[in-house]
Amino acid sequence: MHPALSVIFFTTLSGAGYGLLALLGAGLALDLWPRETASLLWPLGLGALLTSTGLLASMAHLGQPLRAWRAFSQWRSSWLSREGVCAVTSYLPMAAIALLALRQDAQLPWPAAARLAGAALLAAALLTVFCTARIYSSLRTIPAWHNAWVAPGYLLFAAYSGGLWLWLLAALHQVGAPLPWDRLGLAPGPLMGLVGAALLVTALKLAYWRRIDGPAAVADIGSATGLGRYGTVSAFEKPHTEYNYINREMGFVLARKHAARLRAFALVCGLGLPLLGVLAAIRLPDYSPSFAALALLSGSLGIFVERWLFFAEARHVVNLYYGARRV
C-alpha cells in the first residue's frame, strides 16, 4: 500500500498523544498522579496538541476536507467513523480535567469527579487508538493487516510512545531534585513499565513480521480471474500502459525490497536506543532530561519507520489482476 505521509503522521502523532492521555487518565483514575496544576496541565496540553495535530494531518489526506464533519455519521458500520466519534468525545474529559486542575484545592482530596474524568479519558484514548487499528485490521483485502496482531500493536505502541513523552516531561520537571531517583523523572515503577512496554512491543512486532512473511495467502491469480482451473495464469497484457490510481495506491513495492534493513532500523531506533537511554539515565541521573529527549527522538523516528513499513509492506489482493501470483 502507498504509505501516505499524512496518514503516517496521523497514526504516530495521535498514537503518542492518546498514549500520553491514557497514562494521565489511568494515573488520575487510580489517584497516583501528582496534584500540582503544572503536573496535570503539561501532559494534558501536550496530549491535546499531539492528537489535534494528528487529526489535522489526517484531514490533509482527504480530497474534500471541508466535508469532514460528515465522517461522524456512520459509526454503526464504519471504524473510521467510530474513530472520529471517539476522538472528538475524548475532548470532553480533557476539558473536565483541565477545569479541575485549574480550580482544585490542594488541601482537599480529589473529588470523585476527577477520578471519573480520568477513567473517561483513559477509555476514550484507548478506544480511539483501537478504532484506528480496526480501520486497517478490518480490511479483508489486505492480509498483512487483517490479523489479530494489529490492534494490540497499535495500542502498545501508543502506550510506549506516550510513555516516552511522559518521561521527558517528568525528567524536565524534576531537574535538580534532591534525590537521584527523583532526578530520573519517573519513579522506578513507571520507568520499568516503559522498559517492559518496549520489550513487549518488540516481541509483538517480531511476531507480526513472522506472520506477514508466512506463506498464508488469501487468494491467487487463478481464483481472482477464475481461470486457474485451466492451468497457470499469468498477466499477458495490462489494461493500460501507465500507472493508474490502483497501481499507485496499492502497488507499492519499494519497502518489500528493503524490508530487512528497515525493520532492523525500526527496532534499533524505536526500541533499542530508548532502552539504552533509560539505562544511561539510571547511571547518570543528572542528565536524565537529555537522555529522555534522545530516547524520545530516536523512539519517534523508529516508530515512524515502523508505521511506514506497516503501510508500505502490506499487499492488496487487487495486485492479483496486475500479475501478482498470490496475495
Partner 1 sequence: MTMLPAPARRKLGLVIDLDTCVGCHACAVACKEWNDGGQFGPLPDEDAYGAEPLGVWFNRIHSYEVQPEVTPDSQGNGPLQQLYKTGFVENAPAMTVHFPRSCLHCEKPDCVTVCPTGASYKRAEDGIVLVDEEKCIGCKLCSWACPYGAREYSEKRGVMQKCTLCVDRIYNESFAPAERQPACVMACPTRARHFGDLGDADSAVSKLVAEREGYALMPELGYAPVNRYLPPRPRRNGCGDKAAAADHTETLDRDQLPPLLRWVDKLLSR
Residues that bind partner 1 (CB under 8 A): 1, 61-65, 67-68, 70-74, 76-81, 84, 135, 138-142, 218-219, 221, 223-227, 229-240, 242-246, 248-250, 316-318, 320-322
Closer Cβ to partner 1, 140 or 257, answer by number: 140
Closer Cβ to partner 1, 181 or 322, answer by number: 322
- Please report how close the Cβ of residue 4 comes to partner 1 at its closest, in angstroms: 9
Phi/psi for 76 (5° steps) reads -70, -25
Q: How far apart are CA 315 and CA 155, in angstroms?
A: 23
Residue 13 grid cell: 502523532
Closer Cβ to partner 1, 218 or 293, answer by number: 218
The long-range contacts involving 292-298, CB below 8 angstroms and separated by at least 24 positions, are 292/164, 292/167, 292/168, 292/170, 292/171, 292/172, 292/185, 293/168, 295/164, 295/167, 295/168, 296/164, 296/165, 296/167, 296/168, 298/269, 298/270, 298/273, 298/274
DSSP labels for 83-97?
HHHHHHHTHHHHHHH
Closer Cβ to partner 1, 69 or 106, answer by number: 69
Q: How far apart are CA 317 and CA 143, in angstroms?
A: 8
Closer Cβ to partner 1, 214 or 230, answer by number: 230
- Please report how close the Cβ of residue 146 comes to partner 1 at its closest, in angstroms: 10
- Please report how close the Cβ of residue 326 comes to partner 1 at its closest, in angstroms: 12
Nearest C-alpha neighbor of 199 from the set 296, 133, 290, 267 = 267
- Please report how close the Cβ of residue 314 comes to partner 1 at its closest, in angstroms: 10
- Please report how close the Cβ of residue 222 comes to partner 1 at its closest, in angstroms: 9
Q: What secondary structure letter does DSSP report for 285? A: G
Q: How far apart are CA 116 and CA 188, in angstroms?
A: 26
Neighbour tally for 282: CB within 10 Å = 15
Residue 110 grid cell: 480529589
Residue 51 grid cell: 492528537
Q: Answer yes or no: are the C-beta atoms of 303 and 157 closer than 8 Å.
A: yes
- Please report how close the Cβ of residue 83 comes to partner 1 at its closest, in angstroms: 8
Q: How far apart are CA 26 and CA 279, in angstroms?
A: 25
Q: Collapsing DSSP states into helix, strand and coil, what is residue 220? A: strand
- Please report how close the Cβ of residue 273 comes to partner 1 at its closest, in angstroms: 33
Closer Cβ to partner 1, 65 or 111, answer by number: 65
Closer Cβ to partner 1, 150 or 294, answer by number: 150
Does residue 229 come out as left (phi exceeding 0), alpha (psi in the -120 to 50 range) or beta? Answer: alpha
- Please report how close the Cβ of residue 51 comes to partner 1 at its closest, in angstroms: 18
- Please report how close the Cβ of residue 304 comes to partner 1 at its closest, in angstroms: 21
Closer Cβ to partner 1, 139 or 168, answer by number: 139
Q: Answer yes or no: are the C-beta atoms of 37 and 101 closer than 8 Å.
A: yes
Closer Cβ to partner 1, 108 or 230, answer by number: 230
Q: Answer yes or no: are the C-beta atoms of 164 and 300 closer than 8 Å.
A: yes
